[in-house]
Amino acid sequence: MVDDLRDDLFLAELNERLFVHFLGQHWRAPLSERAFDVWRPRPGRIICADQRDIARALASVRGGAFDPRAVQAAAQAAWPRLRAVRRLEGVTESEVEEPDCDALPVCDLPGADGPVGLLTGAQVSPLAVARVFMACAARGVLWKPSPRAAASAHLLMRHLGPVAGDGLALVQGDHATGCALAGAAPTLFVSDQPVPDGLPVTVMRGPTGPRRP
């Protein structure tokens, strides 16, 4: 699988890939310039979204823009490459190709409409993330993954973006970015770790999938 990744220059171009965020169906340069170092699968930097990036990304998200079944199919097709990147990030995923983890019900969130924020820990499987996307399709999702899963998050969005329309957006960032997102939209927190102090998340669930050795 790593050879496949090299074929499309994913690893060779990783630092440039981690620089951009995904919104409005396109990869865009962030407004923020604040960098954060990541070390897997190789040294690189993400640019941490600030309040301006969060506002711009939320404004780009539209509910009902994609068929959950299309996201499911795209996640399944991407799974071999995602598993390879996850190994490089230090997480061994199962071979299952179905995003069959428990859905996080949108009814747990306040408000009847508007985008959902999603914060995920490093241990959360990309298939679990895809399942949340499917459950929240009616509202749309702005996702901020853990910096330790920045590469696999980029790869997942690279595969889901073409079928998700304006229904999904991705920003990279650290704890400060997570706080900015949680302060701007009803936000799901999915992690095997406790909620950080001062993070006003609405729902917390543990991830489904293997733990880091």
**How many C-alpha atoms does 80 have within 13 Å on its Cβ side?**
6
pLDDT digits (tens, 9 = 90+) for 148-186: 999 999 999 999 999 999 999 999 999 999 999 999 999
**Alpha-helical segments (H) within the chain:** 2-7, 14-19, 51-60, 68-88, 126-135, 150-164, 175-182
- Per-residue model confidence as pLDDT tens digits over 99-152: 544 444 554 666 668 899 999 999 999 998 998 999 899 999 999 999 999 999
CA-CA distance, 190 to 69, in Å (whole number)? 22
Dump pLDDT digits (tens) for 12-56. Answer: 677 788 899 999 999 999 999 999 998 777 778 999 999 999 999
Closest CA to 148 of 174, 178, 180, 182: 174
| Tokens coding 102 | 């428990």
SS3 37: strand
pTM: 0.87
- 195 pLDDT above the threshold of 90: no
pLDDT for position 95? 72
- Residue-wise pLDDT for 59-109, tens only, equals 999 999 999 999 999 999 999 899 989 988 998 887 765 554 444 455 466
